[in-house]
Each structure stands twice: as structure tokens, then as C-alpha cells.
Amino acid sequence: MGLPDLLQQLNQVVFRYQTSQNLKRLTILWLIAGSLTLLTFTFLEPIAAPYYQHLFLAVLLGVPCLVAIGMLLFRFRSRVSPASRHQIATLIEQTYPDLDTSLLATLELEKTTDETLPTFLQNRLIQQVIQHGTEHDWRQTISNRRLILQSTTHLVCFTAWFISCLTCWFYLKAAPIPKGELQTTIASTQAQFQVEIKPGTTDLEKNHPLLITARFTEKIPDIASLHIRAASGETQKLPLVKHLDDPVFAARLTDVSEDLTYSVQVNDWESETYQVKVYVLPKLVQLDSMIIPPNYTGLPTRTVEDSLTISAITGSKIAFIAKFNKPVKQAQLKTGTGKTLPMEVSSDGFVARLRFLATESQSWNLRIIDADERENRAQPFIDLTVIPNLPPEIKVTFPGRDTRVSPLEEALVQGTVVDDFGVQQVGLVYSIPGQSTQTLKLLSTAKPKQEVATEHLLSLEQLQVQPDTLISYHLFAEDIAPDGSRRKVLSDMYFMEVRHFEEIFKQGRSANSSSKSGKSGGNAQQAEKLAEQQKQIINATWKIIRREIKETVSSQYAEDVNTLQQAQQALVTAVINLASKVKSQKSKAVIDSISQKMQETVSLLNAAKDANEVEQLTAALATEQASYQLLLKLRAREHKVSQNKNGGGSKGGGSSRSQNQLQQLELTNKKQRYETENQASQPPAAQPNRESLQILNRLRELAQRQKDLNEQLKELADKQRFAKTDQEREEIERQLKRLRERQRELLRKADEVAQRMDQSKQPSSTKSRRELEQTRKHLQQSSQSLKEGQVSRALNSGTRAQQQLNQLKNEFRKKTANQFADAMRSLNQQAEQLDQKQKELNQALNKSNQPDQAKGRRSLRKNQGQQKLADQLEKQEDRLKNLVEQMKKVVKESEKSEPLLSKHLYDAIRKTRPYRPEDALKNAANFLKEGATERAQQAEQRAGQGIEKMKQGIKVAAESVLGNDLESLKRARQEIKSLTSEMKQEQKLAGNPQAAGQPKQAAQKTAQSGKGKSPGQKPSPGTKSGQPGKSGSPSGQGKSPVQLASAQKGKGQGSQSGSGKSSSPSNSQSSSKSTSSKSLKGSRGSPKGGPGGGQGGPGAPSTGPITGNQFREWSDRMRDVEEMVGDSELRSKVAQIRERAQSMRAEFKRHSKVPEGDLVNAQILEPLAELQKVLSNEISKRGAQTSLAPIDRDPVPEKYSELVRRYYEELGSGK
């Protein structure tokens, strides 16, 4: 055994390796050849000539075969070369590591064997390598399994290539008419008829109609037909219709769903063949959103499927996943300002993604472009509402005002803190002039709490405070800011004035029954006024400190501090004037100290203005408090009081301190005996706010629409079960498509309701939001089932959604203090209808009794008219029983939650029992059947009296819940008048269509002019813009710079810090307090307007609600009107007008076409005017006049009543 034997073993392995490589290369060759064959099959037209057909087949089969033969020959030349053996040896060494490169070393001997003989050691190495090859069978380095698998794959690819070649050849050689014959035929036909066919070869959107016309210019045939051949091979022949003598023949294809060719035929003549290629516009099928809230919220990741309305917390990570109906090349989100956000399109083009961080509310239109540069027709509107992380809302609930305390008193301070994501720390800070500020931590927890109620008892005895000491205090809370840092928020500042143990109160004079009295001494009274003004400056300073929570001060800072400086300087002048009037040396010393402190305050305010730093302002606050404490020492300790006409005590200066001492005084009682007649008003029922009513209205609408949709699904399921013909099935498919669109529209409405719930951030909305999410899943399942054609599953999901919507509506109504409102409206309406029906029965019964009286005798025959009246009386009895049962049910349910309502309804039932209206109606019906008309009439009258009594009782009970609806009707009429005025802008736009292209510009102008105001926001009742404070407050006079910084005495500061509503310290305390909740949390319920977002507000008169950006606010106000009117018919009319306006708005956004003025007038303006007229008539019916009446509790003696009456008559006539 020598080197030749070793080379023979290696050559066997080389042969197997070369075979494996050849199979691999041939397999790749057949795959490439098959792919090229399929591309040829796609792009080439049919071949008519036989010569070219056979040549094409030879190319298809010959070229790959020649390439395969060339590959084999090239590889055969180098199959047993030393290089190939060296390659195989390396492979064997890798397979058998125990050879330890001995095989490669042996192959090196091949180069020297011709010159020298191998040595002993070399022969020994060759023998060992040969022996190893014999024992291990090196041929298995290329395994048999590998060769079999490669051979099978090669055979399959070769067969597929061969079949594809034959298939392509058979298809491409299918030419019905050779090219020469086709040209001859066309030439001959053109010689017979001259025709112009439109649209010729064209492109058409899928499922759109196509109108084909053929105009014959010379010879006009009597009959022509249209020959159509679809891409699927189906042929169709349609007659071309000719109208009168017009030489135009036409045919209309209602729905073109695939490519086709067509030609016009007249007898044996046929026109040129034209092609119609069908294309599909890109369209958004579904938009899914994945929302990852910030870590500090502790909320899980949320996925919202098939929704265009999204709400997320500020700082959330949002991922949009858009799915399309076809591959697209580009997708981007475009804002109203023209800014675009490109989406990342997947490789197949069916999905696009976008990831971003939610920082502000935005609105986009989705623009889609396919490979043919075609865009989507209707760009979907995507609305993102970002819910801000607002500062905590802190409220001092007790005492909630400035108080006067004694040095030994224990003062209780209570407060509540509410935050959207929870607070981590709550504390109390109090300070006494001359001492360090004390901070008490009332709550410190690692787990944030959304609602915290806290309290602390200040022991003034332990603090060792002296009379005329001022204690200022406020609460603070810490939560997590949007950037993840801790944020500290301060509450209003309140004061405790330590009073003396003894104070003297004396009765003063009362002029004209009004409380006019003064303090002892004019200087003391002036000192108290100065103290009030100093308190106002303190409140204004504290408001600026709370507002400037950022690192840099705001632009209003310098102006506001300048106002404070002027006010403090004016107060210094007033103190100096007071010093010239005071004679007491002790008081002069106090005034000098006050003047020094105030001048020090002026210097600190000036330094704070120059440095633009809040730290200097904090130092100024301490000196202001010290000045106020010194002013307290100048107050008088003796007071004169008098009694007002209501019997209460009032003290000079209008202050309400030491009220207990005032009530203990025995004052002379001189009452005014006459006043305007007043009726006792019942305690107002708790009414939900506007946002809650908006949500409730939408839930009611969703439940009703889902109910209507389920009824249509039931009818469609029955039709589908009994459908027999294809035409019926196609009609059912079209109806299913329409119902699915309506179901998806309800899904969009549910998302809008969920967005409003997220924005409101009300405690009652949290659970409702979770339940609405479950309802949304059922709505989505119903929509998906309709898409798949499964009507039964869609109906089941829709029914569950309807049940949950009804349950959610009822629960939300209970949570919003509107639990029995709808029930009482229904009872009141039923009672009015019952009473009206009873009056009609009374008239009919009186009319039927007249013939018997005229005849003077009774007939033994049954009167047919009386029988009908008897039936109507029985139905009236059933209606009455139903009404009573409903009343009993409401009485039982409202016994705990609404005891006043329960009592009124029970009284209504009890007062009706003596009349026994149910038995009276039953007896009246029986008497009529027996012919006893007079007795029936008596029973009917008794029943009518009972029903009238019941109606009055129900009306009283309804007013205890709903209040007097007269004011609601007046507000509804005023709102309709305003809505009508805004809608009239649409008529102006109808005459000026160019204005329709300017809604975005108008929206931008509106946003600039109304920046900082939420749409539709109205001022709080009792306040006017630019007039802070209540009337009679010193801040409302505007006589000095001090009063510009006024805050109502006895109240805390206004809005919470960080609200951004109050930019000047000139707002009074009462005004800011009345709007504090709005300024702090109001932004949660005020969605930001965006381009096309359907929002807007006052200030955009150039566009109407439909074509402008204020449609959403206009629609919400229409919903408010629905809630104001109690009658169901009026509600239905308002809802119809609103839905018509929504349809016009949708058409405008889809086609950018201004609605016609006549259409707006007929469908919106005229119904609104009619509705306004109906409300005016109803208000005039219920209006009442006030009159003067004596309020003396003792009645006038009977013998003097006539004299008193004459006296008042002469007094009123002016004699």
C-alpha cells in the first residue's frame, strides 16, 4: 500500500463532492430559469406567427440546457486535480480531527515522488493514513443522505422549470387572428362605419360605474350591441340604447370589478377592441394604537384597535399601526399647518408604523400614496387628545376663611387634596411674625393617593400667642411632575387674628331699617380700613409667589410687582396721614413701627422687581405680614351694632366676627311690615355639570342607535335565511356593507365618549370608562362579524353592546345626580297626556248625552258611539294603573336617596285616593255599556278630578328634582337664538363660495385672538370680566392702586398654582375662588381645538359652524338644549336638527363643498325658528307676575279689613 492507493481513495471522495456541487448548481439554474419564464409569461403579449412560436419555445428550453452543459464540462476538467484533492483532504481533516494533519502532510509527498523515493517514516505515515481511510470510510464525508436530498430537489426544480416553459408557450401562442388578418379586418370595418367610441381605453376605479358611448357620424345603424370580455374569461353582450334621433348609442355598466375589453358590434361588423384597467385607490382599513403611559402613573400598556380618536397622558409613548387595503409606497400624517410626519411603511406595503412621544393634543389627516402615485380619496381624520398631568387641587375645607381666635383656643384646620395621579406628601405651613416658619408633614407615603382628607389641631396656648397677633397658614402637596420630578403646590393663604378676651358691643342707631353704625372713633375705623388694604396686598403677593413656580419668572412678573409697590407706597402715605391725627403716644409709636415696616416692604418690592427673583418677594411677604399685625393693634375694642330688617345683628364696618356675641344682644325689634311677595323656594337639587350631561347625552344616543341597528340585523338575518336567488343575496351583501359602516361609525362615537371621559377626570367617570372599554370590544366584534358576513354573531355582539350601553347609561345617570330626572320627566308627561285625554273623554261623553235628553226617553238598544267611549274609558283605566305603578316604583327607589321626591309622590298618591279614579273609570265604562249615561258622566267627573289632583302632585314632585323648568326653557330659547345667529353665516357662505376655502385661516385668526380661552367657556355667574370681587368689596371701587390688588376679606386665595388662568394680582379673592376649580381642573374637560378638529369658539365670524372649526362646540350646545327641554318631542326635534347639521358637516369635509343656502335654511334654520317659537309660547303660558303683599304674621281684624283695603287702594293710586 503506497501513495497511489491513497490518491485512489481521495479521488472517490472528490467524485462524490463534485457530484454534490453539480446538483446544487443545476438546482439554482432551474430555479432562475423558471423565474425568468414566469416573468416572460407576465409581460409578453400573445404570439400569432407559428415560426416565432417555435423559436420562442426553442429559446425557453435551449438556453438553460446549454448553460447546464457548459457548467458540467467546465467542472469536469478540474475534477481530479491536486487542488481538488487538497480541498477534500482539508474537509476530511475537519471531519476526523484525530488525523492531526497527517493526511495533508502525506499529500505533500505527491510533489516529490517523481524525484526521490519516500523514506521509511514517510511510508509508515502513508500506511497509517490508508488504514484510517479503510476503517472510517472517508466517502461518508459527503453522506448518501445529502446526495439523495440534492438529487430529489434537482429533479423537482427541473420538472417545475419544464412545466412552466410548456405552460408559457401554450399561453403565448394563443393568438386568435394573425396580425395581418387583424389589420385587414379593421380596415374593412372602418370602411363600413365611422364611429367615435368613448371613453376608449381607460383606467377605472374598482366597483365604479362605466358609461360607454358610440357616436356614428355617417351611416347610423338601427341596432348596435356592446361585446364585453372580462379578465376571468366571462363574456357579456349588452344592447346599446339609442334615444330618439340622436346618433349616440350608450350602455352603462353599474359595477366594474375586474379588467375587461369591449368592442361595439353592428351585425357582422365589429369595432376596435378597447381595454379597461381597474385600479383600487389606497384606503385605510384599520388604525391600531399602542399607548405606553409614563412610569409614574403606574398604568399598564393599552392597545386600542380600530380607532381614530385616541387619548393619552402627557409623556406617553404612542405607536400607530396603520393597515391598508393594498400595498402603498408612502403614508404620512399631515397637520392643518402643513407639517407632515412620515410613517415607516413595511416591505410588503400593507402596514405603516409611527412612533412618537405625546406632548400636546394634535390632529392629523392621513395621506396615502400607492406605487402608481394615486392618493386616497377621503383622508381619515385622526384626533389625539393629550391629558395633562395637572397640579394637585388643594382646598381648605375648614374653616375655609379668615378667622378670629382667642389665645387659649385650639384651632382646627381641615383640607382636601385631589390629584389625577396621586400625591406623595401633604403638609401644613404656618408662620407668626417674628418667628421662624413651621412646616408640619400630615401625610408622607411612597404609594401615591388620588384623594386625601387631612386635618390638624393648632394649640394656640402652647404657641403662647398674644392678642393682636397674626397667624398665617396654608397647605401644600407634592406630586410627580410630567418630567418625573417632584412638584410642590401651595394652597390659598388664610389668617388667624388673635383677639382680646374682652370686647364691648353696644346698640347703635338704625336709619331707614338699614344697618348703619360705626365704630367708636374715626381713627380706629380708618385703621381697620388700612388693615383690610394691607391684607389685600398680602393676598396679591402670595398669589404671585404661587404663580411663579418655574425657574424663570413670567412676563407679567415685573408689571405685577410694580403694581404692588405702588399700592404699598399709597398705603405708606395713608399711614403717615393717620399719624398726624392720632394723639395717643402709644398709638403714634405703633404707627411709626408700621410706617417703617411698610417702607421696608417698598424697598424689598423694588429689589424684587429689579432682580426678577421670587426670593426677594418672599422677604417682602414677611414684612407685609408684620405690618398687618401692627395694624391690628390700632383696632377699637368697642363696637356699635344695630339690627337689620331680617332680624339679624349687623356691626359697623360690615364684619362678621364675634357673631355669637352679637346674637346674645337684646336689640329693639323694628320690622318692615311690607315687602315684595316671595314664595318659599325648595332646596335646589344637585345638578350635573355640562360635561356630565354631554357624556350622558352621547351614551343615550349610542344606546338608541345600537338598538335600531340590532333590529335591522334581525330583519336581515331573516332575509338571509330565506334568500333563494343570487340577486337577493347580492342585495343582502350590500345591506351588510352599509350596516358595517354604521357599526364602525358607532365605534367612532364610542371612542369620542371615552375621550370625553378621560378629559373630564371626574371620580364618577373612572368605572364608567372601564365599562365603556368592554362595550367597545363588543362593538368591534360586531363590526368584524359583519365584515366576515356572520350576521348571527354580529347580532349577538350587538345585543350585548346594547345591554351594556343601557346599563352604563343608567349607572352614569345615577352617578351624575340625574337618577330620577328622566323618570320624573316621563311621569310628568304621562300625567299631562292622561289629563288631556280625560278632558277629551269628558267632552265626548257630554256630547253623547245630548241626544238622549232631547228625545226625553232612554233607548233599549246599545249605542255604538257609547260602546267606543266605554272602550276608551277602559284604556284610560289601564293607562292610569300603569302611571300609579310607576309612581309607586319611584317612591320606593327614591326613599333613601331623594326623600323629598319620595314624600311628594307619596302625597300625590295619597291625595288622589279619596276620588278613587280607577274605580270611577271602571264604573263609568260599565254604566255606558248599560246605557246609564248620566251616572257614567258623574263617575267620569269624579275620575277627572282625581287625575287632575294627581297631575298637580306629580308636577310638584318633579320640581323638587328638576326645579322650575321655566328658567331652563328660557335658557334653551336664548341658546337657540344664539345658535341660529351662528348658523346664518352658512347662508352668507353659500353666496360667497370662495370663503369656504378659508376655514383654516379663520381658525388660525380665531386661535390667535382667543388664545388662552377654552371654546365656549362662559364667565362664572355673578362676575364680569375685568371686575373682580363682589360688589361692595373695597376692591371693586377702583379708587386707589391698593384696591387693584384687592382680595375679598375673609376669603383665601383664588386659583391653584400652575393653573395659568390668573396672570395678575388684581383679581379678587372671591372671583378667583369661585373659578378655582375651573382654572385648575377645567382644562381636563376642555379639549384643544385642532385643524379640522371640529372645535372652535367665538371670535371666528367669517365662517359658519359647518364650514368653520367651531362645529363641535355648536353641536355640544345643541346637546345642551336637548337636556334643557323636558318634552320628548322637542328633544327629538333638536336631535334631528343636530344630525342634519352633522351630515352637512361630513359632506363638507369629504368634498370641501359649501352647503347650499336653501338647504341650510330648509333643514336647519327654519326648524330652529319654529322651535324657538314653540319655546316662546310655552314660556308665556308659564310666566307669572310678582305682586306686593303684607308679611305681617297677624291677620287684619274682620271689621277693619274693608278700611285697610281702601287705604291700600288709595295709597297705590297716589292720592
Rounded Cα–Cα distance for residues 1136 and 1147 (Å)? 17
Mean pLDDT of 167-184: 57
Rounded Cα–Cα distance for residues 768 and 746 (Å)? 18
Task: Give which of 1106, 1173, 1118, 1089 is closest to 979, Cα–Cα.
Answer: 1118
Residue 734 banded pLDDT, cuts 50, 70, 90: confident
Residue 138 cell numbers, joined: 472517508
| CATH classification code of 284-387 | 2.60.40.10
Burial annotation 19-29 (CB, 10 A radius, 16+ → b, else e): ebebbeebbeb
Lowest-pLDDT range, 112-116, 278-282, 613-617? 112-116
For residue 1163, give the DSSP letter.
Answer: I
Rounded Cα–Cα distance for residues 714 and 735 (Å)? 12
For residue range 1018-1034, list pLDDT tens digits in order.
333 333 333 333 333 33
Spell out the residues 6+ positions from residue 1029 whose beta carbon is closer than 8 angstroms to its own: 1035, 1036, 1046, 1047, 1048, 1068, 1069, 1070, 1071
For residue range 443-481, list pLDDT tens digits in order.
888 888 888 999 999 888 888 888 888 899 999 999 988
Residue 199, preceding peptide bond in cis (omega within 30° of 0): yes
HSE at residue 139, side-chain half, CA atoms within 13 A, is: 12
For residue range 565-601, list pLDDT tens digits in order.
899 999 988 888 888 888 888 888 888 888 888 989 9
Mean pLDDT of 182-200: 63
Tell how far CA 1077 is from the center of its chain: 21
pLDDT of residue 763: 55
**Given a cut of 60, is residue 621 above it in pLDDT?**
yes
Residue 321 banded pLDDT, cuts 50, 70, 90: very high
Total count of residues recorded for the chain: 1215
β-bridge partners, 488: 478
Residue 521 cell numbers, joined: 372713633
Task: Give which of 693, 1165, 702, 679 is closest to 968, Cα–Cα.
Answer: 693
Percent of the chain residues topping a pLDDT of 70: 74
Lowest-pLDDT range, 18-22, 402-406, 538-542, 755-759? 755-759
The runs of H, that is alpha helices, within 582-665 are 585-611, 614-632, 659-663
β-bridge partners, 263: 227
pLDDT of residue 274: 93
Mean pLDDT of 945-974: 81
Rounded Cα–Cα distance for residues 447 and 341 (Å)? 38
Q: Does domain 823-854+862-963 have CATH number 2.40.360?
A: no
Q: Which residue has the cell 345642551?
A: 1120
Residue 56 banded pLDDT, cuts 50, 70, 90: confident
C-alpha distances out from residue 206 to 258, 274, 1025, 1050, 1211, Å: 7, 17, 59, 74, 89
pLDDT of residue 415: 93
* Phi, psi of 954, deg, nearest 5: -65, -35
Helical pair 933-962 and 864-897, crossing angle rounded to 10 deg: 30
C-alpha distances out from residue 208 to 204, 227, 276, 968, 1133, Å: 7, 19, 12, 51, 37
Q: Which amino acid appears at position 302 of this protein? A: R
**Is 758 strand, coil or helix?**
helix
Q: Which residue has the cell 291677620?
A: 1195
Rounded Cα–Cα distance for residues 687 and 821 (Å)? 10
C-alpha distances out from residue 887 to 807, 912, 916, Å: 22, 12, 16
pLDDT of residue 510: 52
For residue range 121-161, list pLDDT tens digits in order.
767 777 777 777 777 777 777 778 888 888 888 888 888 88
β-bridge partners, 269: 266
Burial annotation 840-866 (CB, 10 A radius, 16+ → b, else e): ebeebbeebeeebeeeeeeeeeebeeb
Rounded Cα–Cα distance for residues 311 and 491 (Å)? 30
**Given a cut of 50, is residue 497 above it in pLDDT?**
yes
**Given a cut of 60, is residue 970 above it in pLDDT?**
yes
Angle at 1095 between CA 1089 and CA 1097, to 5 degrees: 100
> Is there a contact between 768 and 811 (Cβ–Cβ < 8 Å)?
yes
Q: Which residue has the cell 359602516?
A: 741
Rounded Cα–Cα distance for residues 968 and 1069 (Å)? 30
Q: Report domain 392-507's class.
A: mainly beta
Task: Give which of 869, 883, 978 is closest to 924, Cα–Cα.
Answer: 869
C-alpha distances out from residue 851 to 85, 859, 941, Å: 133, 11, 20
**Given a cut of 90, is residue 690 above it in pLDDT?**
no
**Given a cut of 70, is residue 208 above it in pLDDT?**
yes
Rounded Cα–Cα distance for residues 527 and 518 (Å)? 13
For residue range 1082-1140, list pLDDT tens digits in order.
333 333 333 333 433 333 345 678 887 788 888 888 888 887 786 778 888 888 898 88
* Phi, psi of 1119, deg, nearest 5: -65, -35
* Phi, psi of 475, deg, nearest 5: -100, 155
User: Which of 1178 and 595 is assigned the larger pLDDT?
Assistant: 595
Q: Strand pairing of 649-651 and 309-313?
A: unpaired
Q: Which residue has the cell 371701587?
A: 1037
Task: Give which of 734, 671, 684, 673 is closest to 960, Cα–Cα.
Answer: 684
pLDDT of residue 262: 93
The runs of H, that is alpha helices, within 403-463 are 460-463
Tell me, letter by letter, the H, E, C secondary structure of 189-231: HHHHCCEEEECCCEEEECCEEEEEEEEECCCCCCCEEEEEEEC
**Given a cut of 70, is residue 661 above it in pLDDT?**
no
Residue 841 cell numbers, joined: 273623554
> Is there a contact between 1058 and 550 (Cβ–Cβ < 8 Å)?
no
**Given a cut of 60, is residue 1194 above it in pLDDT?**
no
Q: Strand pairing of 317-324 and 309-313?
A: unpaired
Q: Strand pairing of 504-507 and 638-643?
A: parallel
pLDDT of residue 505: 66
Q: Which residue has the cell 338601427?
A: 222
Q: Which amino acid appears at position 5 of this protein? A: D
Rounded Cα–Cα distance for residues 828 and 834 (Å)? 10
Q: With 0-12 CB in 10 A as exposed, 13-18 as middle and 19+ as buried, what is 1006?
A: buried
Residue 428 banded pLDDT, cuts 50, 70, 90: very high
Mean pLDDT of 989-1003: 48
Burial annotation 372-384 (CB, 10 A radius, 16+ → b, else e): eebebeebbbbbb
Residue 788 cell numbers, joined: 366576515
User: What is the topology classification, in CATH, of domain 179-279?
Assistant: Immunoglobulin-like (2.60.40)
Q: Which residue has the cell 365611422?
A: 194
**Is 422 strand, coil or helix?**
strand
Task: Give which of 526, 456, 538 is closest to 497, Cα–Cα.
Answer: 538
pLDDT of residue 316: 92
C-alpha distances out from residue 951 to 182, 839, 945, Å: 91, 13, 10
> Is there a contact between 388 and 415 (Cβ–Cβ < 8 Å)?
no
Percent of the chain residues topping a pLDDT of 90: 11
Rounded Cα–Cα distance for residues 823 and 978 (Å)? 30
User: Which of 1169 and 862 is assigned the larger pLDDT?
Assistant: 1169
User: CATH classification of 526-637, choosing from 1.10.3470, 2.60.40, 2.60.120, 1.20.120?
Assistant: 1.20.120
Spell out the residues 6+ positions from residue 707 whose beta carbon is closer than 8 angstroms to its own: 802
Residue 735 cell numbers, joined: 345591506
Rounded Cα–Cα distance for residues 404 and 939 (Å)? 69
Q: For the chain, what is the mean pLDDT?
A: 76
Rounded Cα–Cα distance for residues 463 and 409 (Å)? 11
**Predicted TM-score (pTM) above 0.85:** no
Mean pLDDT of 982-1009: 54
pLDDT of residue 1046: 33
**Given a cut of 90, is residue 369 above it in pLDDT?**
yes
User: Which of 1015 and 359 is assigned the larger pLDDT?
Assistant: 359
**Is 384 strand, coil or helix?**
strand
Q: Which residue has the cell 466517502?
A: 139
Rounded Cα–Cα distance for residues 1005 and 90 (Å)? 81
Tell how far CA 27 is from the center of its chain: 60
Lowest-pLDDT range, 270-274, 916-920, 1105-1109? 1105-1109
pLDDT of residue 111: 62
Lowest-pLDDT range, 103-107, 220-224, 628-632, 839-843? 103-107
